[in-house]
Structure 1
């Protein structure tokens, strides 16, 4: 298989691998998006179940603050609360905790050896009420005191008091006086939690509790009396302020009885519930969201993940593109180098063959006439010049490209320079019609050798790529705003628009009938390097079938 065919086959194989790679990562991209969406869906659905606890905790924070911090403050008064002090204390509670709708204050005492008609009596231990007051936002002033001297307490009031008093007695009866009870034991035995109600006795000192224990089985000579205040808090769970800290997850959160069961259920909604607990255990937080509402949260969670996947996919595509581009460039470079070697070999082979033939003729001839001697001498000289010119062009191109030469600065008469260049080319090509025009420019400083190479290459190109009846070029030189503008206009075959951007590339050849004999593809690339080295610019305009114009702009140095 020819070398180029092998390379082409390898290129196609590599291209197939790139296409396969893109197909694979595209499939993985779609699969990743699918998995990411399912993960997001399960994550949000899981959050709908688990985040209810966070909403509950945030919503009952005021209750926890009341139960753990405010309620124990009653014990600071050591049982010496009166109606006025209790009213002030309750006012602060009602303002801070709106879920407390009513507070009943029991001004009570614990005695030894006295029967309490309105209280608890066990042996020599008695706990009774002296007076009872109620406080609340909607309680009028004339109904604050609900029990006192010469009045009978309601059954509910007496029952609430006796229930907690019995709990007190049971605790004292079992009390181990050799060990100080924990705060948790004290708090749990001096409070009573009921649905929508909390009853609380102030907690006595440990020394007082020891005396309480003595009272149970003994009649003490001093018959001590201890103040033992009790407050009963009636709660309204509907006044708990719900703090929905996941508003994008829970469309609606409300408090409902535990027995609440919506009459209408729909597959379009997602619901959940969690019990409030404690005195609110008969109620629950009820969560409801439309599936379309949940879907928005799913997508808001999914989109950042999808964006990361898309970025990663884009990077992989970029890598694939860069690999493909490099393969394509390598393929083009191979083709250019292959063409260059082929054409360079041809360019060298032709003059070498001619030189060899001329040498063999001279060698094998018995005698050479003067005419033959001149002919062979001319042939050898011309072919040697071709080889030398080609080698010089390659060497100069490399030196300029690597900045291995220095720009010489000589003062040049532009008119003389153009005329001498035209004379040389007309002598070489008598059928080449050359004209010129110089405007507002006489002398300037430049490198005449490099400028001559630039002129020679453009003129040779114009002659080579022009039909026999249109081998002509017009050169203009003008000084425009401190810039030297040179134009080379021919009437040749022109350059297709699709090739314009490639003609200054090394080893690139425009495919046409004039290139069938081969071309190294360095002429215009050499011109480009020359102009760049001289700190100028080169551009081209061309119309197929009508001709081409090269424009060169160089800095003007006097």
Structure 2
């Protein structure tokens, strides 16, 4: 036991438990950190992903501002009320956030105007004003005409745009071509306070040159140019919010920039982002309860947890393999330790007998013929034991390493079995062996290896049988092209829990028949022999009834 404790192959159960506890603690800690990381990531996304929501929600507004509104310029100032009404209908239908459009059918004259803006000799004023949109009654469409100047006051929207046109014309360098961006900027006005966008169709370059001349002097004849101006009234509350992260944002609203929620409970998470352009006095306001956010946190967390679980499983598997290896090494060391002890005992017994016989012969002054025969027999038998043990160990090693060649000799099976019976009954007179052969008489095999196989199984049958029931039946049959040998004894039997181990090297069943020492190589040697002969060996046994070994070998004739 002291030798086993000092060996490097002992099973360290406490070390395995410590390792498992350590990785379990690390696993739990990793899960905790991963959850906190997931929570922090989702909270950061709650703040950052609002940009995507804004971009998707405001996309129709950008499309209107950059693509649809400039279509007014395609008419070159020649829109009438009917065409303008159709244009507005398409705009309102496609862009629900536009509630009303005021259309100014405008004239640019080389004369002063009463309603509008006068800049030197350039006059900019409305000829007709119409309004179109949702809920506009038919009798409210036309707001102003030159025939009825008292019906409507020209609004600041028109004056602001007219002033901007006059300023642009006054500063115009007719030798330089203005860029589209400059033109668009100077012919549109975004009013975020009233949520309006005013747009005047962009005049052609030749018209702008004439406007410049009209501002500087009177022309003859006096020209009149048509301009179309539209003022789009927007409703921020009609913006269609596109929630790109429905699992992240529970509620999204359009609120004024001054909006301050009454409920400031810690149960909710909020963030906001300002709307652009004409909606800049408003913002998108995002609200989610913490319990709602947890769903998204767990969706983010689960893949990380699965990876950690996989790593944890791999580490547990490593721990199990290490433990199993330690356990196997411990068993192997014990088997080897027992093997050395038993082998020493197996060698020590015949050596001691030989030494005693030798000392007796050496010390005797004279030996009778009977004594000489006795001592000679003793020396011969013990030498045979030593030689047999050495041969078994050597043959086992050679077979394992494929260091021997399988001979192919013709064997008469009946003669072979009778020779085996004769050998064992001479050695053990109380051993009763019977046999039967069916279907063949001779076959090709290695007789030395076959003899070792028969001898080991016969010796086992005798050793592990109670006195009075030392019987063995050997059956040899040719069945479906293969040889089937059965060795059935009436011995003590083998427990079912040990059947899977009996062919292992150095394995010994703990019973009264092994108390005097056994190397544990007999059946392992048989297994190696059968494998080397390209066959297979199996066993079935019942405690107290007996054991039967079945050997199947290829039939060569």
Using the size of structure 1 for normalisation, the TM-score is 0.90
Work out the CA distance in 2 between the residues paired with 1:84 and 1:276: 33
Deviation string for 1:503-527 (max 9, x for gaps)? 1011111122221221111100011
Q: Aligned pair in 2 of structure 1 residues 307, 153: CA closer, same or farther (>3 Å)? A: farther
Q: Aligned pair in 2 of structure 1 residues 29, 153: CA closer, same or farther (>3 Å)? A: farther
Number of equivalent positions? 555
State the match for 1:489 in structure 2: 488
Q: Secondary structure at the match of 2:243?
A: coil
Work out the CA distance in 1 between the residues paired with 2:144 and 2:496: 110
Deviation at 1:83, TM superposition (A): 4.0
> Is the contact made by 1:80 and 1:229 (CA closer than 8 Å) also made in structure 2?
yes
State the match for 1:3 in structure 2: 3
Could you tell me which of 94, 99, 102 is aligned with 1:101? 99
> Is the contact made by 1:119 and 1:158 (CA closer than 8 Å) also made in structure 2?
no
State the match for 1:41 in structure 2: 39
State the match for 1:525 in structure 2: 524
> Is the contact made by 1:109 and 1:127 (CA closer than 8 Å) also made in structure 2?
yes
Q: Is it true that 1:203 corresponds to 2:202 in the alignment? A: yes
Greater shift, 63-72 or 421-430, is seen at 63-72
> Is the contact made by 1:102 and 1:136 (CA closer than 8 Å) also made in structure 2?
yes
Q: Aligned pair in 2 of structure 1 residues 445, 173: CA closer, same or farther (>3 Å)? A: same
Deviation at 1:387, TM superposition (A): 1.4
Work out the CA distance in 1 between the residues paired with 2:218 and 2:16: 102
State the match for 1:434 in structure 2: 433
Deviation at 1:179, TM superposition (A): 6.5
> Is the contact made by 1:275 and 1:284 (CA closer than 8 Å) also made in structure 2?
yes
State the match for 1:312 in structure 2: 311
Work out the CA distance in 2 between the residues paired with 1:464 and 1:338: 23
State the match for 1:229 in structure 2: 228
Deviation string for 1:290-313 (max 9, x for gaps)? 433321111111000001111111
Deviation at 1:144, TM superposition (A): 4.8
> Is the contact made by 1:492 and 1:547 (CA closer than 8 Å) also made in structure 2?
yes
Listed as ranges, the gaps of 5+ residues in structure 2 are none
> Is the contact made by 1:118 and 1:158 (CA closer than 8 Å) also made in structure 2?
no
> Is the contact made by 2:4 and 2:10 (CA closer than 8 Å) also made in structure 1?
no
Listed as ranges, the gaps of 5+ residues in structure 1 are none
Greater shift, 191-200 or 218-227, is seen at 218-227
Q: Secondary structure at the match of 2:453?
A: helix
Q: Secondary structure at the match of 2:113?
A: coil
Work out the CA distance in 2 between the residues paired with 1:278 and 1:153: 34
State the match for 1:166 in structure 2: 163
Q: Aligned pair in 2 of structure 1 residues 346, 157: CA closer, same or farther (>3 Å)? A: farther
Using the size of structure 2 for normalisation, the TM-score is 0.90
Deviation at 1:549, TM superposition (A): 1.9
Q: Aligned pair in 2 of structure 1 residues 430, 193: CA closer, same or farther (>3 Å)? A: same
Deviation at 1:36, TM superposition (A): 0.5
Could you tell me which of 38, 58, 72 is aligned with 1:60? 58
Deviation string for 1:224-258 (max 9, x for gaps)? 54433211112233432222111221233343455
Greater shift, 202-211 or 501-510, is seen at 202-211
Work out the CA distance in 2 between the residues paired with 1:212 and 1:420: 135
Greater shift, 42-51 or 261-270, is seen at 261-270
Deviation string for 1:129-155 (max 9, x for gaps)? 122334446657776544334123754
Q: Secondary structure at the match of 1:484?
A: strand
Work out the CA distance in 1 between the residues paired with 2:468 and 2:538: 26
Deviation string for 1:350-398 (max 9, x for gaps)? 2222223322332333322222221221112111111111111112112
> Is the contact made by 2:491 and 2:546 (CA closer than 8 Å) also made in structure 1?
yes
> Is the contact made by 2:143 and 2:152 (CA closer than 8 Å) also made in structure 1?
no
State the match for 1:394 in structure 2: 393
Which runs of structure 2 are paired with 1:159-558 in the superposition (5 Å)?
A: 159-173=156-170, 183-194=180-191, 195-205=194-204, 209=208, 212=211, 215-216=214-215, 218-219=217-218, 223-258=222-257, 268-558=267-557
Deviation at 1:402, TM superposition (A): 2.0
Say what the alpha-carbon RMSD is for the aligned residues.
2.9
